[in-house]
Amino acid sequence: MAMANNKTKCFTCNEEKITYPCRGCSKEFCLMDLTKHQQILNDELNYITNEYNEFKQRINEQKQNRRNHILIKQIDEWERNSIGIIQQKAEECRKIAMGYLPTYFNNIEQKFNDLSRQIKQIHQENEFNEINLTYLRNELIEITQELNNSSKIFIKENSQSFISEISIILSAKSKFNKWKQNAITVAGGNRQGQRLSQCNYPHVIFIDKNKNIFIADYSNDRIVEWKYNAKEGQIIAGGNKQGNRMNQLNGPTDVIVDQQNHSIIIADHGSRRVIQWFNQNQEILIQNIHCWGLAIDKNGYLYVSDWEKHEVRRWKMGEYKRGIIVAGGNGQGDQLNQLSYPTFIFVDGDESVYVSDTSNHRVMKWRKDAKEGTIVAGGNGQGENLNQLSSPHGVIVDDLGQIYVADCWNDRVMRWCEGKKEGEIVVGGNGEGNQSNQLNRPHGLSFDDEGNLYVADFSNHRIEKFEIIL
């Protein structure tokens, strides 16, 4: 019987020999060339290790002498080109920058330390291939670029003043903001119901400075306040069965809380009215409006989204005879001057209005006095890709202009930067479910003063708190 031929061609010498596979490159080598191939991999690992050590030295040098950082040099140059009266401003900016740079380096160091552990592990186990080395090189390139990319911290000049004034713009701050992916249930979570320990399709949340949570408890027709760390809430509006009497609510969808005067304004969606509760006394502010979302700007004007008329109006406090259209109002549609079933809204410091244009699966931004809006999130049809949304609901915008969206039917919260073609998943996105890392039709969003993210987990009948990673 003939002996079986188990020889194949060696990738390097191209001769028929007994060969051994390399899992990294999926090629076959004879024993001699396999040894050479392994040496090449060893050399590459040593090269990456040397680059890693050089990077370690660079970051240590910059940490020890932060005044050599390009941000500080920009401030120094501005100071030299100006006159003595602005020296105090320069020092103030230095303090902000010097206070921020440790956080800047700490975030890079976290990635750097993780890479260090992986390199040590590979050295110890002495089992690696091209896949491992490519990963290490890409990680090293990423953190090196992060260290070199000073454009994320820059100087903003105000050319309107006699002497150009500067301020520190920390646009990288929110870039590093991440949240633990497993949430803590801080309200509800005890199945659907009407007991004070339960929620029934919570729509929106408001967090005060003491981390007390105010909830528009939609199907319980009430507004409930949960004190910090409380096991149950207390009813502060409604809760007298569904109805349109003054002491009743019918499917509230949004709430604004003014704790200074103990007043709350409620979008009483089912009763088609905006109603104010003031020390348990009620007053109807706006009638015959299919209201959904509410917002107040810095001047005290009230904004209301009208689900039925596909528009957002602004109302002067105390004068509710006629509102001014600030978004939509041109019939239902998907043109830039139209909306289709707008829900939640947000107004920034420039009085720009952000609208969750739910049936168009997009978020629109209408600048003050604009005739049409711009798409700042979604707008690429309904879907689950990173450039798409599916029935967006809650929307909030942080101080750096980053837009957070409750992507309702995708069971996730997205973050979009204006002008970017796609967003990123902040929390959720692990399929519909009730586990701590899952959401089920998220609606309202809110941040507390520490940057923790709260989500009204609508169909799970609970409020979830995702703690920020510092």
The pLDDT, as a whole number, for residue 364 is 97
* Confidence at residue 172, expressed as pLDDT on a 0 to 100 scale: 42
**What tokens does 294 get?**
């509410």
Query: Do the Cβ atoms of 265 and 206 come closer than 8 Å?
Result: no
**HSE of 343 in the Cβ direction (CA atoms, 13 Å)?**
25
The pLDDT of residue 173: 44
In Å, how far from its chain's centre is CA 150? 22
Taking the model in full, what pTM does it have? 0.65
The count of residues in the chain is 470
Q: Which residues pair with 75 in a beta bridge?
A: none
The pLDDT assigned to 89 comes to 75
Helix (H) or strand (E) holding 45: helix 31-64
Q: What's the pLDDT at 157?
A: 67
What is the reported pLDDT for 153? 62
Query: Over the chain, what is the mean pLDDT?
Result: 87
Question: If you ran DSSP here, which 8-state letter would residue 25 be given?
Answer: T
C-alpha span between 239 and 223 (Å, rounded):
8
Torsion-angle region of 401 (φ positive above 0: left; ψ -120 to 50: alpha; else: beta):
left
- The ranges of the chain with pLDDT < 50 are 1-2, 171-174
pLDDT of residue 91: 79
Residue from 221, 105, 104 nearest 174 by CA: 104
Q: Give the contacts of 149 (CB within 8 A, at least 6 positions apart).
A: none
Tell me the β-bridge partners of 8.
Answer: 17
